[in-house]
């Protein structure tokens, strides 16, 4: 079971890093213009905290994975349906 949580954790980290790089390149946006920087900082801090919890407190594997999955769902909603007013949701995740 511990290996399962470890694999899910690294999938979460890969997904978050993919979102960060896509936002910096300009493929994905949160729709808030310069306000996207706020979301990137928030995401980076949450990833650093989850990595610290993973490696320094081994008892919270399931907790970190559950929080990571909830964070992934929130981020996916923020880049799609809950996108801000500057780039409204048009049915596409990637900007063309």
Do 93 and 79 form a contact (C-beta atoms < 8 A)? Answer: yes
Above 70 in pLDDT, residue 1? no
pLDDT score, position 32: 87
Q: How far is CA 22 from CA 2, 18, 40, 44, in A?
A: 30, 6, 11, 14
pTM, 2 dp = 0.82
Instruction: Give per-residue pLDDT as tens, 32-58.
Output: 888 889 989 999 998 898 888 888 876
pLDDT score, position 61: 74
First CA to last CA distance, the chain:
41
Q: Which two tokens stand for residue 4?
A: 């399962």
Angle between helices 2-25 and 36-56 (to 10 degrees): 160
pLDDT score, position 47: 87
Above 90 in pLDDT, residue 18? yes
Q: Which two tokens stand for residue 77?
A: 């909603």
HSE-CB at 58 with a 13 A cutoff on CA atoms is: 2
Above 90 in pLDDT, residue 84? no
């Amino acid at each position: 079971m511990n290996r399962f949580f470890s694999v899910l954790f690294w999938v979460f980290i890969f997904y978050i890093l993919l979102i960060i790089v896509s936002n910096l390149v300009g493929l994905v946006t949160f729709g808030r213009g310069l306000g996207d920087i706020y979301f990137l900082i928030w995401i980076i801090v949450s990833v650093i905290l989850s990595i610290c919890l993973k490696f320094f407190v081994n008892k919270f594997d399931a907790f970190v994975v559950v929080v990571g999955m909830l964070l992934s769902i929130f981020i996916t909603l923020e880049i799609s349906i809950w996108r801000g007013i500057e780039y409204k949701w048009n049915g596409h995740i990637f900007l063309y």
